[in-house]
Amino acid sequence: MYLLDTDTITHPNAGNPTVVGRLQTADDPEIGATIITRVEFLRGRYDYLLKATTSAEILRAQELLLRTEELLYQIPTITFDDAAAAIYDRLRGTKGLRKTGNADLLIASIALSQRATLVTRNLGHFRTIRGMQVIDWAD
């Protein structure tokens, strides 16, 4: 299974040909996103809409929010479960990961519990986590 990180899930939405092509030719057809990625993506869209100050910005933000919701509807959401919780607790106690952001630890916990490959541009955020499989499709 491939899990799309927040920085990668935006690419199909924007029509990035490299990411779209890799999605279409992935060797594992199972592709999803974590609940954390979903929250981060939608939070950005909500903030954009609420901070818009002109009618043109509001219309654009609304369009992006609706397109994002359509995209997320098509991609399975992988939730934080008991297995991910156990991994998360272990990761939070790992000395070398104390500076890693909480959202990244949650995403890593879900990916590890699913034995999934995380597709992200932020390889450095995850490579130090033992057992993580990470790749970048946007290159």
Q: All domains of the chain, ordered by start, with CATH?
A: 2-135 (3.40.50.1010)
Give pLDDT tens digits along the chain (139 positions). Answer: 999 998 888 776 666 777 777 777 777 778 899 999 999 999 999 999 999 999 999 999 999 999 889 888 988 999 999 999 999 999 988 887 777 789 999 999 999 999 999 998 888 878 888 888 988 877 6
- Which residues lie below 8 Å from residue 120, measured CB to CB, with a gap of 6+? 5, 7, 8, 126, 134, 135, 136
Q: Is 8 within 8 Å of 119 (Cβ atoms)?
A: yes
**HEC-encoded secondary structure of 31-47:** EEEEHHHHHHHHHHHHH
CA distance 60 to 43: 16
Q: Is 19 within 8 Å of 138 (Cβ atoms)?
A: yes
